[in-house]
A and B are shown apart, each in its own frame.
Chain A
Amino acid sequence: MLIPEDDKLDEQKLKGIAKKLWIAGFFLLPWVWLINVLFFIPYRKEINNDTKWYLKFSLVGFFVYTGIFMTWMGIYLVNRNKWGTFGDEISVVIPFG
Chain B
Amino acid sequence: MNSPNITSRNNNDPIDNNNNNNNNNNSNNNNNNNNIKNHYNVNNISNIESDKIKNSFPDDDESYDGEYENNMTSSSGSIPTDNNNNSSNSNNNNSLFNIFLDEKNKKSEEDEDSDFESEFGKHEYELETPELVDYSESIVNILIPVCITMLICILLIRTITMNEQTVQASPLIHNDINDAEPSDSQTLVFNPIINSIIFLAVIILSTFIMVVLYKFKFMKALYGWLIGTSILLLGVFGGYLFILILIYCNVPLDYITFVVVIWNFSAGGMVCIYYYAPRLFHRAYLISIAVLMALFLTRLPEWTTWAILALVSIYDIFAVLCPGGPLKQLIDTAKKRGEEIPALIYNASVYIGMANLESNDSNQSSPISPTTITNTVSTPTKSQFNQQQNEVSQPSPLPNESSSCSTLNEMLEDDDDHDENQMNKTISSSPSSSDISDTNTDHSIQISPDLTTSISSNNLSTKKPSNIKLGLGDFVFYSVLVGRAALNDMITVCTCFIAVITGLFLTLFLLALLKRALPALPMSIGLGILFYFITKVILTPYLLFIGSTQVFI
Contacts and interface: CB of A to CB of B under 8 A. Distances in A.
Interface in A29-85: 29-32, 35, 38-39, 41-45, 69, 72-73, 76-77, 80
Interface string B312-347: 000000000000000000000000000010111001
A43 B417 contact: yes
A45 B369 CA distance: 12
A6 B419 contact: yes
Nearest to B366: A45
Contacts of A97: 250
B545 interface: no
B271 A6 contact: no
Interface stretch (B58-66, B200-208, B209-217, B421-429): B421-429
B255 A32 contact: no
B264 interface: yes
Contacts of A7: 1, 419, 423
Given A6-B6, A29-B267, A38 B226 contact: no
Given A24-B271, A31-B264, A80 B252 contact: yes
A5 B253 contact: no
Contacts of B255: 90-92
B252 A91 contact: yes
B257 A69 contact: yes
Nearest to A14: B276
Interface residues of A, number: 41
B253 A91 contact: yes
Contact of B417 (A9, A28, A30, A80): A9
A77 B252 CA distance: 7
B278 A90 contact: no
B277 A35 contact: yes
Contacts of A90: 254-256
A79 B7 CA distance: 61
Task: Name B's interface SS.
Answer: helix
B267 A95 contact: no
Contact of B9 (A6, A8, A29, A73): A6
A14 B417 CA distance: 12
Contacts of A27: 267
A9 B361 CA distance: 18
B257 to A, nearest CB: 5
B246 interface: yes
B263 to A, nearest CB: 6
A64 to B, nearest CB: 14
B260 A42 contact: no
Contacts of A9: 276, 417, 419
A93 B268 contact: no
Contact of B267 (A10, A32, A45): A32
A31 to B, nearest CB: 4
Given A3-B276, A8-B2, A43-B416, A28 B264 contact: yes
B40 interface: no
Nearest to B418: A42
B274 interface: yes
A7 B9 CA distance: 11
Contact of A45 (B8, B264, B265, B365): B365
B419 A72 contact: no
B423 A6 contact: yes
Q: Give the 5 A-B residue pairs with the shortest CB-CB distance, closest first.
A: A6-B423, A42-B416, A31-B264, A31-B268, A93-B246
26 contacts: A1-B223, A1-B273, A2-B223, A2-B274, A3-B275, A4-B1, A6-B8, A7-B423, A8-B1, A8-B3, A9-B276, A17-B276, A27-B267, A29-B267, A31-B264, A31-B268, A32-B271, A35-B277, A35-B281, A42-B361, A73-B254, A91-B252, A92-B254, A92-B258, A93-B246, A93-B247
